Chain A
C-alpha cells in the first residue's frame, strides 16, 4: 500500500527558505502517469495546491507561488522535495504531499496524502 511521509523543520525564520521532503514507500515514484504534488493548509483555513512534479523532473506550479517555489525529485531515494523561499508568516501552514493524477491523464485526483507537517514561520 502506497504511503507518503513528509519531513523537515517545523520552524523557519522569516525571509529564509522552507525545505520539506516527501518519502514515498510501498511503490515507485517513477510510476508512469503519476505526478507528485504539494498542497498546504494554513491553520483553520482551506487547501491550496502548490505544485506537482513528474519523475522525469517536469514540473508545474501555482502561479501565485511560482516565483518562490522549487519542487525537485530524487528517484534513487524515492523522494521529492519542496523549497519555498523568502517565507513570511503567511506561509505558516500544514504542508501535505500527495500522489497526483493530473487531468492530462484523462482523470484527476490527489491520493493518497501524507499525514502532513506543520511549518511555522516565526523569528
Chain B
C-alpha cells in the first residue's frame, strides 16, 4: 500500500485560505469516509485536526475544515495564522493488506 499523495508544500499570507489535497484510490480515500488530518509542529507529536473527512474534534478551531470528492480529500485552513505553520498529514483506512495509511505530508508556510 503506497502512501497517499499530498503536495510537498503550500503557502499563504496571514488571513488567506489555503487548501491541502490528499489523493488516494477507490480502495482508500474514495471508498471510505475514514479520512483524518493531523497537524505536526517541529519536534512535536501529531495532533488530530479532522476525522471522518469533515468532523472537528472538540477544541480544534473552526478555521479548519475537511471535505472529499472522489479519491481526493482536502483540508482547508481559513484565516491563516502564523501558528498554523506546520506539517500536515492525511490518513485513511484502506481495504488493502495495510489497513491504515498516511499521506506524504505537506509543509504549510505562512508568508
Contact = CB atoms under 8 A, between A and B. Distances in A.
Interface in B63-111: 89, 91, 93, 97-105
Interface in A58-76: 60, 62-64
Nearest to A62: B98
Contacts of B51: 107-109, 111
Interface stretch (A15-23, A24-32, A84-92, A113-121): A113-121
Interface residues of A, number: 22
A62 B100 CA distance: 8
A63 B97 contact: yes
B102 A113 contact: no
A-B residue pairs, 7 tightest by C-beta: A111-B48, A109-B51, A108-B34, A113-B45, A103-B93, A47-B102, A49-B100
11 contacts: A46-B105, A47-B46, A102-B93, A103-B93, A103-B99, A107-B34, A108-B93, A109-B52, A110-B91, A111-B48, A113-B46
Interface of A: 39, 46-49, 60, 62-64, 96, 102-103, 107-116
